[in-house]
């Protein structure tokens, strides 16, 4: 119409005197614009759940502003308000919708994980077919420390550019996202493209990127995972979880992995459903306390036990504490779980005749979250009264991390509980940055030497470390428990070094209450 | 008419600021950002064309050159302005109403 207008004046004419004048065809433009706008608003309404409220509002504003301005200008042609209104509407979008500070990782310049998860949410809501590739650098955190932040992020930026170049050359339509410390996500529109074919080229690209890094003695360990939505996975949470967990589930040397294989593994199913498992366990009290006997070298019998929490889910079976405890810490569920452990142990002590069994005390772990509680000591003292338990029968374990991070609150709790007759031990000695100075200052009765140190005794240096550790502990009058003892050689060796107590599979695995009592009755040769 | 043409004068720098902001804030990658940038450019072109047309046609009588200029600038204005709602609409289904891609 515009081309023909030069000859017909159907849309508009320009008069030497009157200037610009509308022709009858101008209404076709208005009708066409109205159709587009109606269709746009209709679609926006249909997909309103895909957008956040501010986004929906600002996009609607674009239509409303334009529509209002067009109507106004149609009625009052001398007022040219349309362009300024459109500009305002677009400015509105820039200010309200485009928030790069929320969606960009400024260290690499790539869109952030938040942008990725937002995009996955939209893909799942719109049920659009997409291929998602996750690249995880297994040693990203170490590389960042080793190279320094500037060099590391420049390196990641190079990797991103190289992958982008290779994929663009192959005609892929994709977007790339980065999550700290070393995950790159790609959302690829070419659903049927076999990304594994590109792996060789990408890997060569990675190698050229790392020349400088490798000259510094570092190496990179990338792992890939391909997720096809909706064929492999149909919900957003699982897509996000696969991206986060796949490298923990695959065999270490498996470079390229497919989500279809990962999501069927037991380990992933448990990790992916951890929220459900934990909430169900807390709600239905599915946790159980097991007791692992502790042997006294001096008395040659079992004198105590460590209380260990276990979880058996009705759907997923036995869930390792190594999986559910970190998840519970992350979700802030350690307080109810810790309360359950405290209550169970106090009840267990009150229900059994420890003197007849030859048991002195039960050791139980306090989590970091529990030690943060200002009222922890009050809770324990209340349990002591409720179950009429002698405080000497309870030994509370803290880890070095707990003590380092909490300071004053822990000190207050330890002081109050110590004054009331509870004893403390330091767990996992040898796994952190323990030093004798700190240990000597803590009101600790027992030091528990970690299994890794016991295992290291096979080497001569490991043996020297153990020997001197034991000597030093004895000098500052601490009792020593060695954990994770599995062989008779280890037992004999540790007994020879002067270790007081031994715990490990050599004697028994952790046992449920009844089995533990039966074990103690049998092995301590007592008749209750 | 002269007084009112200044509104177009205001619109042009606003569009330029928006384009600058998109570039500086790195909101230029991804289909949706690209379409949004296209919308802004289209708006900018039509605002400039509208401005040229308004200023040129403001003082009658018009010379032949000014008549042609008004005709061409109006053609550009209508063309680009007509594209805008089409871009708004196509942006949504094609790019799944996504903002950040």
What is the DSSP track for A81-132?
A: -HHHHHHHHHHHHHHHT--HHHHEETTTTEEBHHHHHHHHHHHHHHT--EEE
Assess contact for A311 and A321: CB atoms under 8 A. yes
Parent domain of B11: 2-94
Chain A closest-CA separation from residue B5 CA (Å): 6
Q: Residue A305: what are its φ and ψ, rounded to 5°?
A: -155, 160
- Express each pLDDT in A104-139 by its tens digit: 787 887 888 888 888 888 788 777 888 999 999 888
Check B97 against A47: CB less than 8 A apart: yes
| The residue to which tokens 């060099």 are assigned | A151
| CA max distance for chain B | 51
- B12: in domain: yes
* Range from A81-90, A201-210, A370-379 carrying the lowest mean pLDDT: A201-210
pLDDT at A78 over 60: yes
A36 in B contact zone (CB under 8 Å): yes
- B18: in domain: yes
How many beta-carbon pairs under 8 angstroms link A with B? Answer: 154
Q: CA A8, CA A44: separation in Å to the nearest integer?
A: 38
Handedness of CA A102, A107, A113, A115 (dihedral sign): positive
Q: Which structure tokens are listed for A198?
A: 């590109």
- Express each pLDDT in A220-276 by its tens digit: 788 999 999 888 888 888 899 889 888 888 888 888 888 888 888 878 888 888 888
Edge-to-edge strands, sheet with A130-137: A174-179, A183-188, A130-137, A222-229, A256-258
Check A126 against B97: CB less than 8 A apart: yes
Element (H, E) at A424: strand A423-429
Chain A closest-CA separation from residue B15 CA (Å): 6
Check B96 against A90: CB less than 8 A apart: no
Q: Which structure tokens are listed for A93?
A: 């979008």
| Distance from the Cα of residue A455 to its chain's centroid | 29
| Distance from the Cα of residue A91 to its chain's centroid | 37
Q: Is the peptide bond before A354 cis (omega within 30 degrees of 0)?
A: no
Around Cβ A399, how many Cβ atoms within 10 Å? 20
- pLDDT value at position A134? 93
- B101: in domain: no
A84 in B contact zone (CB under 8 Å): yes
Complex prediction ipTM:
0.82
Which of A90, A99, A190 would best serve as a mutation to test chain B binding (most B beta carbons within 10 A)?
A: A90
Chain B closest-CA separation from residue A151 CA (Å): 21
B73 in A contact zone (CB under 8 Å): no
- B99: in domain: no
All structural domains of chain A, each given as residue ranges with its CATH number in brackets, are 2-96 (no CATH), 101-267 (3.30.70.270), 273-523 (3.20.20.450)
- pLDDT value at position A211? 60
- Partners of B86 on chain A (C-beta within 8 Å) are 36
If 0-12 CB within 10 Å is exposed, 13-18 middle and 19+ buried, where does residue A154 land? middle
Question: Between the CA of residue B13 and those of A15, A87, A479, B9, B42, what are the distances in Å?
Answer: 30, 9, 78, 7, 14
Burial track A208-245 (b if 16+ CB lie within 10 A, e otherwise)? ebbeebeeeebebbbbbbbbbbeebbeebebbbbbbbb
- Express each pLDDT in A41-61 by its tens digit: 887 787 777 677 777 787 787
Percent of the residues in chain B that have a pLDDT greater than 70, as a whole number? 70
Which of A14, A104, A123 is opposite residue B70, by nearest beta carbon? Answer: A14
Assess contact for A338 and A370: CB atoms under 8 A. yes
* Residue A184: band (very low, low, confident or very high) from pLDDT cuts 50, 70, 90: very high
- pLDDT value at position B16? 92
In 3-state terms, what secondary structure has residue A423?
strand
Check A29 against B78: CB less than 8 A apart: yes
- pLDDT value at position A432? 67
- pLDDT value at position A367? 86
Better-scored residue on pLDDT, A390 or A49: A390
* Residue A26: band (very low, low, confident or very high) from pLDDT cuts 50, 70, 90: confident
A62 in B contact zone (CB under 8 Å): yes
- B100: in domain: no
Better-scored residue on pLDDT, A140 or A36: A140
Closest residue on chain B to A123 (Cα): B96
pLDDT at B95 over 60: no
If 0-12 CB within 10 Å is exposed, 13-18 middle and 19+ buried, where does residue A351 land? exposed
In 3D, which of A325, A76, A113, A391 has the Cα closest to residue B1? Answer: A76
DSSP designation for A191: T
- Partners of A115 on chain B (C-beta within 8 Å) are 100
Chain B closest-CA separation from residue A188 CA (Å): 11
Assess contact for A62 and A91: CB atoms under 8 A. no
Q: How many distinct structural domains can be found in chain B?
A: 1
- B73: in domain: yes
- pLDDT value at position B45? 92
Q: Residue A272: what are its φ and ψ, rounded to 5°?
A: -70, -25
Distant-in-sequence, close-in-space partners of A159: CB < 8 Å, separation ≥ 6: A184, A205, A206, A209
In 3-state terms, what secondary structure has residue B48?
helix
Element (H, E) at A258: strand A256-258
Closest residue on chain A to B76 (Cα): A2
Q: Residue A425: what are its φ and ψ, rounded to 5°?
A: -135, 155
């Amino acid at each position: 119409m515009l081309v023909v207008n030069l000859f017909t004046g159907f849309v508009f004419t320009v008069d030497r005197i009157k200037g610009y004048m509308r022709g009858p065809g101008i209404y076709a433009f208005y009708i066409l614009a109205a159709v587009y706008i109606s269709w746009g608003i209709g679609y926006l309404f249909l997909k309103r759940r895909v957008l956040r409220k501010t986004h929906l509002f600002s996009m609607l504003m674009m239509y409303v502003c334009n529509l209002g301005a067009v109507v106004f200008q149609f009625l009052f042609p001398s007022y040219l308000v349309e362009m300024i209104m459109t500009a305002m509407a677009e400015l509105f979008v820039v200010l309200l919708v485009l928030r790069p500070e929320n969606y960009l990782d400024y260290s690499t310049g790539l869109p952030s994980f938040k942008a990725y998860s937002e995009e996955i949410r939209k893909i799942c809501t719109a049920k659009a077919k997409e291929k998602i590739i996750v690249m995880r650098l297994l040693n990203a955190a170490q590389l960042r420390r080793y190279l320094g932040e500037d060099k590391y992020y420049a390196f990641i930026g190079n990797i991103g550019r190289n992958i982008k170049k290779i994929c663009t050359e192959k005609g892929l339509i994709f977007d790339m996202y980065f999550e700290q410390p070393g995950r790159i996500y790609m959302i690829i529109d070419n659903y049927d493209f076999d990304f594994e074919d590109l792996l060789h080229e990408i890997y060569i690209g990675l190698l050229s990127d790392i020349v400088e890094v490798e000259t510094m003695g570092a190496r990179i360990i990338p792992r890939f995972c391909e997720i096809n939505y909706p064929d492999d996975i149909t919900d957003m949470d699982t897509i996000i979880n696969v991206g986060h967990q796949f490298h923990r589930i695959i065999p270490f040397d498996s470079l390229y992995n497919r989500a279809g294989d990962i999501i069927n593994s037991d380990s992933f199913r448990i990790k992916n459903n951890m929220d459900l498992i934990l909430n169900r366990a807390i709600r239905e009290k599915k946790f159980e306390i097991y007791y692992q006997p502790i042997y006294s070298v001096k008395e040659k019998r079992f004198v105590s036990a460590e209380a260990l929490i276990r979880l058996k889910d009705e759907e997923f079976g036995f869930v390792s504490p190594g999986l559910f405890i970190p998840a519970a810490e992350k979700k802030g569920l350690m307080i109810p779980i810790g309360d359950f452990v405290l209550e169970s142990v106090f009840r267990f002590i009150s229900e059994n005749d420890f003197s007849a069994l030859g048991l002195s005390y039960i050791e139980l772990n306090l989590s970091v979250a529990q030690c943060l509680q200002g009222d922890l000591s009050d809770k324990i003292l209340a349990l002591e009264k409720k179950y009429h338990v002698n405080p000497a029968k309870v030994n509370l374990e803290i880890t070095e991390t707990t003590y380092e991070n909490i300071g004053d609150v822990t000190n207050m709790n330890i002081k109050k509980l110590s004054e009331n007759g509870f004893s403390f031990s330091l767990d996992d000695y040898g796994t952190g940055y323990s030093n004798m100075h700190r240990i000597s200052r803590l009101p600790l009765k027992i030091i528990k030497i970690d299994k890794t140190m016991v295992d290291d005794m096979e080497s001569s240096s490991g043996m020297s470390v153990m020997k001197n550790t034991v000597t030093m502990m004895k000098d500052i009058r601490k009792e020593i428990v060695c954990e994770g003892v599995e062989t008779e050689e280890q037992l004999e060796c540790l007994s020879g070094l002067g270790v007081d107590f031994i715990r490990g599979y050599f004697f028994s695995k952790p046992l449920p209450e009844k089995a533990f009592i039966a074990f103690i009755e049998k092995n301590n040769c007592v008749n209750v | 008419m002269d007084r009112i043409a200044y509104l177009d004068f205001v619109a042009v720098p606003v569009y330029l600021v928006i384009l600058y902001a998109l570039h500086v804030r790195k909101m230029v990658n991804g289909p949706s950002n690209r379409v949004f940038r296209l919308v802004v450019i289209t708006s900018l072109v039509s605002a400039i064309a509208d401005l040229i047309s308004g200023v040129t046609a403001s003082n009658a009588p018009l010379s032949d050159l000014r008549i042609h200029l008004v005709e061409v600038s109006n053609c550009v204005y209508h063309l680009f302005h007509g594209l805008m709602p089409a871009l708004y609409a196509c942006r949504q289904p094609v790019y799944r109403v996504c903002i950040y891609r």
